[in-house]
């Protein structure tokens, strides 16, 4: 699928652009051990939220230098949420290296997200009141998602927690905020609400996929959303380990989010925005080679 291969090249360029901008920013801002801690916290990310921000801004002819600064803001905020996530889930490894708290200790790991989110919001504030508002709203929703994630670790609370609501807050909000900011950079108000819907659907699909892979891989460090996912899927299909049945359940749920994306005004604005959701899901599926092989052709050809 040539267009998909071209998309991957384009996204790799966007990722490298964001990586350089993040490193330039933190080098100027921090030094010594604090620089080391911040660099460790923000390094090696997929930059998917920053990339979708850039893609939407580009599709709507927004100012790209401004969009890149805001992509840095989005990724600093996301990195803050990951450090908190690892502390809450007691995860000892992320991206094949020790998590921040495991390497540097709990005390330092607790304070770094506060530094990162403060910096993220300050960048947004400098760009304008509307960007600060979105950043603050995004962090508020993501924090509530993390709280529900903690509650979902207690199986006695599973019947009282809505799985979709949890992942919409925990992950959907971060993609939603990034997408909205991408549209805001353009100033084209008719796309603002559409961008939010696109981002939320993308974030839900992404977290759903992540929890599915964790469920199949029997990852014990998956956290509350993954635990709640296991409860959710067993209520729907029982304890079956039939991969066909599990994938059918996955596709049924994921297509609801893809249909929201397909109805978006952004869908026709850019070939990259058509294919980016598939790319995002496949990035998660790489953590299980069998799943990746099974779903690659289906997902690539969906749109």
The CATH number for 280's domain is 1.10.600.10
pLDDT at residue 221 in the model? 52
3-class DSSP state for residue 224? helix
Structure tokens at 145: 């998602």
pLDDT digits 0-9 by tens, 102-114: 999 999 999 999 9
DSSP alpha helix (H) spans, 43-128: 48-59, 64-89, 100-104, 106-127
- Lowest mean pLDDT segment, chosen from 134-148, 194-208, 286-300: 286-300
Structure tokens at 144: 């509530």
Q: How much is the pTM?
A: 0.94
Given pLDDT bands bounded at 50, 70 and 90, which one contains residue 179? very high
pLDDT at residue 101 in the model? 96
Whether residue 162 contacts residue 217, with contact meaning beta carbons closer than 8 Å, is answered with no
Local structure of residue 191 (DSSP, 8 states): G
Q: What percent of the chain has pLDDT over 90?
A: 73
Residue 99, sorted as left (phi over 0), alpha (psi -120 to 50) or beta, turns out to be beta
Tell me which H or E stretch contains 262. helix 243-262
- Lowest mean pLDDT segment, chosen from 46-50, 256-260, 294-298: 294-298
pLDDT at residue 219 in the model? 59
Domain that holds residue 146: 2-300
pLDDT digits 0-9 by tens, 202-245: 999 999 999 999 888 875 555 789 899 999 999 999 988 888 89
Name the one residue in this structure whose structure tokens are 């790319």: 279
Higher pLDDT, 10 or 191: 191
Give the Cα separation of 13 and 108 in Å (integer): 33
Higher pLDDT, 29 or 299: 29
Local structure of residue 303 (DSSP, 8 states): -
pLDDT reading at 302 higher than 90: no
pLDDT at residue 208 in the model? 96
pLDDT at residue 261 in the model? 94
Given pLDDT bands bounded at 50, 70 and 90, which one contains residue 287? confident
Whether residue 145 contacts residue 166, with contact meaning beta carbons closer than 8 Å, is answered with yes
Tell me which H or E stretch contains 97. strand 97-98
DSSP alpha helix (H) spans, 156-242: 163-167, 173-186, 192-217, 223-237
Given pLDDT bands bounded at 50, 70 and 90, which one contains residue 303? low
Average pLDDT over the chain reads 92
pLDDT reading at 194 higher than 90: yes
pLDDT at residue 190 in the model? 95
Q: How many domains does the chain have?
A: 1
């Amino acid at each position: 699928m040539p267009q998909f291969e071209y998309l991957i090249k384009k996204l790799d360029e966007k990722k490298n652009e964001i990586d350089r901008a993040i490193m330039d920013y933190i080098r100027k801002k921090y030094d010594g051990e604090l620089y080391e801690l911040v660099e460790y916290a923000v390094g090696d990310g997929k930059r998917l939220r920053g990339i979708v921000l850039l893609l939407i801004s580009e599709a709507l002819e927004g100012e790209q230098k401004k969009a890149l600064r805001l992509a840095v803001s989005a990724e600093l905020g996301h990195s803050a949420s990951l450090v908190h996530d690892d502390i809450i889930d007691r995860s000892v490894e992320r991206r094949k290296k020790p998590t921040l708290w495991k390497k540097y200790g709990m005390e330092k790991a607790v304070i770094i997200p506060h530094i990162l989110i403060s910096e993220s919001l300050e960048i947004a504030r400098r760009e304008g009141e509307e960007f600060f508002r979105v950043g603050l709203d995004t962090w508020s929703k993501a924090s509530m998602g993390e709280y529900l994630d903690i509650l979902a670790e207690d199986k006695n609370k599973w019947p009282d927690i809505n799985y979709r609501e949890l992942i919409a807050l925990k992950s959907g909000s971060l993609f939603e905020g990034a997408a909205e900011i991408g549209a805001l950079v353009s100033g084209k108000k008719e796309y603002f609400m559409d961008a939010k819907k696109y981002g939320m659907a993308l974030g839900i699909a992404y977290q759903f996929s992540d929890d599915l892979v964790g469920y199949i891989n029997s990852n014990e460090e998956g956290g509350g959303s993954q635990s709640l996912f296991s409860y959710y899927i067993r209520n729907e299909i029982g304890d079956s380990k039939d991969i066909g049945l599990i994938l059918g359940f996955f596709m049924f749920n994921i297509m609801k989010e893809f249909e929201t994306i397909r109805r978006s005004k952004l869908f026709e604005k850019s070939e990259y925005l058509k294919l980016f959701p598939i790319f995002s899901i496949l990035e998660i599926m790489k953590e299980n080679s069998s799943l990746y092989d099974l779903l690659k052709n289906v997902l690539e050809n969906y749109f």
